[in-house]
Amino acid sequence: MKLFGTDGVRGKAGEFLDAITTMKLAMAAGIHFRKHSTTNKILVGKDTRRSGYMIENALVSGLTAVGYDVIQIGPMPTPAIAYLTESMRCDAGIMISASHNPYDDNGIKFFDNHGNKLNSKCETEIENIFANEEYLSSQQKTGKEIGASKRIDDVIGRYIVSIKSSFPKDLTLQGIRIVLDCANGAAYKVGPTILEELGAEVITINNTPNGYNINDDCGALHPKNVGKVVLETRADIGIALDGDADRLVVVDEKGEVISGDKLIGALCTYLSSQNLLSKNACVATVMSNQALEDYLNKHNIELQRSDVGDKYVLEGMKNCCLNFGGEQSGHIIFSDVAKTGDGLASALQVLAMMVKSKKTASEILNPFDLYPQVLKNIIVGEKKPLNKIEGLKELQEEIKSLGMRDLIRYSGTEKKLRVLLEGKDKKLVDEYMEKLTEFFKNRL
């Protein structure tokens, strides 16, 4: 059974991700982690979804059934789980969250003892254990070998100190007015606290989670709402997080949403100017605008491309010993600061850049213009291998000869073909997107 997707296990809570599946998954994961166990402890955190209670209890049941002791810390950002897993010397960490998805979805993300997301090999091993009912049953403990669980509520301070320490000690946020949208999610406590303790005047919105309002017309998916408040309050900048606070979207003082590619470009050149960019290179995905790559090349910075997904960005960074990368969606990774994408850690780096430059957000976060880019999802009857579609290679060569870039791939979860087309001439991009759309509709 295929359980893992791009970012952990995710699906409709109570349907795909029900209590029984979750408990079996926890047992399988516990058996996997026990092979390299040193402390017999696993950390579990969650976001603010109502279904988190069900999934948390099912996880605890499964983990204790195979002998693990469980530490439950309640609502905390995903990157906090990554940090605390290593800090508290646990064998693994588990985050219950479906990130930016609606409240009725939920998910489970696993981290190893160093706070890193699991690689594909580990995920496959857990799936194989999950499918082996006889082996699962044989690994259940009895008597004194059954695990225990306890809830700890004071670890929030450890994460706050960790994130605050990433902000330069010679700088302050005094005099900076910030609108922070917590998406009614996991950062509703830590987010305002971190910014206020660094001296900012914080106007916090969407920080009253009720189990159902996470990501609901708020947060990183709806940054224009932050823009309105920025204008109303005359704030210097707006920061929108998603439900588990592993990504951010920034809004400037004019209420304009900053593209994730522009954010990556501005941060990359800032790090380079401070001699903080390892090998003067960074990683972004194949989705990032070509204008980003051209801008970085002008500053003698190499851009390396990865597959879509923050874990692939991180994998690319590790393979080349780089310390910075990101996705245009707002997953920004500073590996010197955090183990994974961290919306709050990234926000502090943006604020440090702004304070140090003594420029407004609009001045510093618009370093280049994006090339016209069109993305279209085409519903298909079957997912025919792209290399077997007659005439596609020739059409792609024609597109390339006209100075455009295409990215064509199937959705991993739906019967859809995702087509991205990009170039400097908007009219030409639109014209060839129509050609591509008709081409695929006649063949799929």
Euclidean distance between the first and the last CA atom of the chain, given in angstroms as a whole number:
27
Cα–Cα dist 332/105, whole Å: 24
In the chain, the amino acid numbered 175 is G
- Which tokens is 238 given? 């707006």
* Distance between CA atoms of residues 313 and 326, nearest Å: 6
Look at the chain and count its residues.
444
User: Which two three-digit tokens encode residue 63?
Assistant: 């983990």
Residue 107 burial by CB count (10 A; 0-12/13-18/19+): exposed, middle or buried? buried
Helix locations, 299-390, DSSP H: 310-319, 343-357, 361-364
User: For residue 378, with 0-12 CB atoms within 10 Å meaning exposed, 13-18 middle and 19 or more buried, which class applies?
Assistant: middle
Q: Which entry of 51, 97, 99, 149 is annotated as an active-site residue? A: 99
Q: Which two tokens stand for residue 225?
A: 């709402």
DSSP bridge partners of 69: 41
Cβ-Cβ contacts under 8 Å for 50 (sequence gap 6 or more):
103, 211, 212
- Between CA 410 and CA 416 the distance in angstroms is 6
Query: Which regions of 124-220 does DSSP assign to beta strands (E)?
Result: 149-151, 177-181, 201-205
- 165 assigned to active site: no
Distance CA 210, CA 49 (A): 8
Taking the C-alpha atoms of residue 319 and residue 327, their distance in angstroms, rounded to an integer, is 17
Chain position carrying tokens 């409709």: 12
Assigned token pair, 191: 């987010």
Structure tokens at 12: 């409709």
Residue 433, amino acid: M
Q: Write out the catalytic residue numbers.
A: 99
